[in-house]
Amino acid sequence: MKCPNCGADSISLLRRLSLGPAFPTKCKACNRKIGVSFRRTFLSATPYFVVLLLIYFIEDPLNRAILMLLGVVAATIMNLKLVPLIVVDRD
Ligand SMILES: [Zn+2]
């Protein structure tokens, strides 16, 4: 993934997915702190909340597991599409 400050390919996809609003990382190239915005991250987690609601009405464990998996996949895709990397140590 590209650094929003210097444009270097500085963090891996896996590292990017593990970034939370409270857990920024540092760019290996420019050493600036980069992370994700809380609002966007929250928005991208919508599929999780929908799944948690739906699961309440589903009794079959297999269907529950499938639904949870779909929620995780959807939230991951939304996270990558909707949540841009930002420089968080602006001064
Ligand atoms: Zn950088």
Is residue 42 one of the residues assigned to a domain?
Answer: yes
Segments forming the whole domain that contains residue 24? 13-87
What is the four-CA torsion angle of 47, 75, 41, 39, rounded to 10 degrees?
-30
| 23, part of any domain | yes
Q: Determine the pLDDT at residue 74.
A: 95
Examine residue 5 and state whether it is found in any structural domain, yes or no.
Answer: no
- List CB-based neighbours of ion ligand 1 within 5 Å: 3, 5-6, 8, 27, 29-30
> Can you give the chain as a three-state secondary structure string?
CECCCCCCECCCHHHHHCCECCECEECCCCCCEEEECHHHHHHHCHHHHHHHHHHCCCCCHHHHHHHHHHHHHHHHHHHHHHCCEEECCCC
Centroid of ligand 1 to alpha carbon of 50 (angstroms): 35
- 1 in any annotated domain: no
**Does residue 3 contact residue 11 with C-beta atoms inside 8 Å?**
yes
Mean pLDDT of 11-35: 91
Q: Express each pLDDT in 46-87 by its tens digit.
A: 999 999 999 999 999 999 999 999 999 999 999 999 999 999
Structural domain contains residue 3: no
- Tell whether 8 is covered by a domain: no
Read off the pTM: 0.82
